[in-house]
Amino acid sequence: MPQYYRPTTRADALAALAEAGERGRPLVGGTDLLVGLRHHTLEPELLVDLKGVTDLPEPIAVTEDGVRIGATYTLGELVAHPVVQEWYPALVEAALTVGSVAIRNRASLVANSCNASPAADTAPPLLVHGARVTIASLHGDRTASLDEFFLGPRRTLCGPGELVTRIDLPRPAPGSGSAFRRLTRRRGVDLATVSVAAGVGADGWLVLGMGAVGPRPLRAESPGPVELTDAAALDGALDQLLAVATPISDVRGSREYRLATLRVLAARAVLAAADRRNPREMAS
């Protein structure tokens, strides 16, 4: 059974995690961790609760260049933030599909990324929005793109003795749009069978984030602008972008079903994202 430690400083948290090594786990929302403890799929000897740490990055900071989100910022807070809603609509759509209201009131965006489920709902939009993570240890801070950060199922660059202290999201380019689409068996409290986030640039440049179709959340970018009003052109672009997907068959869907629905959802996400470009023009 684990010990529980609630440090008040980042230095104490990092020291405790460094000492515990593989046997230590940071705790924020606990919405995955406690399930793992109950089923003994996770058996840490030390839980380091970060919610009492006073010198971690602030929960959210908005600048001209983007948004920084701290380790303790919950999905419930995220979806209610007006700047996040305006700049990162795909992320808000995705976060709103996570669990339920009660789960989102506890679950943290940063911890959701660290958990590195291949089906994590917030991962595809974070990949689309170009998220970077800051990883802290006793030896200092380093940063990585989220695409580099995800190594495999439940595996990330954040190793023993380390903490992800924040996620940085650059401000989307002017005239771009984003959207998220997901397939589940039921509306509330289920994991994605397939999920896709799309970003569309002003010129038709495409980026996709994909969940539950590979060992980790996947990102793919078009080599150039795509003429979205040309169905054949979009089809060809999707052929290339979706080629990275290697879904498996499991209780939520077969490999074939996932590949078929991925394509449909990706096309819908791209068109929805394209519609969100230049919202001022559309409103007039």
Partner 1 sequence: MTTSDHLVDDALQTVTLTVNGSERTVAVPAHRTLLDGLRDEVGLPGTKSCCAEGECGACTVLLDGKAVNSCLVLCVEAEGHEVTTVEGLSADGLTDLQEEFLNAGAVQCGFCIPGQVVAAEYLLRTNPSPDEAEIREALSGNLCRCAGYQRIVRAVQATAERRGAAR
- Residues binding partner 1 (CB under 8 A): 1-8, 12, 15-16, 19, 27, 29-31, 34-35, 37-39, 47, 49, 51, 76, 99-103, 105-106, 187-189
Q: Which is nearer to partner 1, 19 or 203 (CB)?
A: 19
69, 104 in Cβ contact below 8 A? no
Q: Which is nearer to partner 1, 104 or 258 (CB)?
A: 104
Q: Rounded to the nearest whole angstrom, what is the least distance from the CB of residue 35 to partner 1 in the complex?
A: 5
Q: Rounded to the nearest whole angstrom, what is the least distance from the CB of residue 258 to partner 1 in the complex?
A: 23
The two most distant CA atoms of the chain are separated, in Å, by 60
Q: Rounded to the nearest whole angstrom, what is the least distance from the CB of residue 29 to partner 1 in the complex?
A: 8
Q: Rounded to the nearest whole angstrom, what is the least distance from the CB of residue 36 to partner 1 in the complex?
A: 10
- Strands 46-49 and 24-27 come out as parallel
- Residue 151's CB: how many other CB atoms inside 10 A? 13
Q: Which is nearer to partner 1, 12 or 221 (CB)?
A: 12
Q: What is the three-class DSSP state of 152?
A: strand
* Residue 142 structure tokens: 């380093």
Q: Which is nearer to partner 1, 107 or 169 (CB)?
A: 107
User: Read out DSSP for 5-31?
Assistant: E--SSHHHHHHHHHHHGGGEEEESS-T
Q: Which is nearer to partner 1, 1 or 232 (CB)?
A: 1
Q: Rounded to the nearest whole angstrom, what is the least distance from the CB of residue 8 to partner 1 in the complex?
A: 7
Q: Which is nearer to partner 1, 14 or 128 (CB)?
A: 14
Q: Rounded to the nearest whole angstrom, what is the least distance from the CB of residue 94 to partner 1 in the complex?
A: 15
Please calculate the CA angle 141-84-78 and round it to the nearest 5 degrees.
Answer: 75
Burial class (CB in 10 A: 0-12, 13-18, 19+), 113: buried
CA-CA distance, 182 to 274, in Å (whole number)?
Answer: 17
Q: Rounded to the nearest whole angstrom, what is the least distance from the CB of residue 37 to partner 1 in the complex?
A: 6
Q: Rounded to the nearest whole angstrom, what is the least distance from the CB of residue 5 to partner 1 in the complex?
A: 5
In 3D, which of 69, 63, 143, 55 has the Cα closest to residue 110? Answer: 69
Burial class (CB in 10 A: 0-12, 13-18, 19+), 110: buried
Q: Which is nearer to partner 1, 47 or 94 (CB)?
A: 47
User: Read out DSSP for 192-245?
Assistant: -SEEEEEEE-TTSEEEEEEESSSSS-EEEEEEEE--TT-HHHHHHHHHHHGGG-
Q: Which is nearer to partner 1, 60 or 144 (CB)?
A: 60
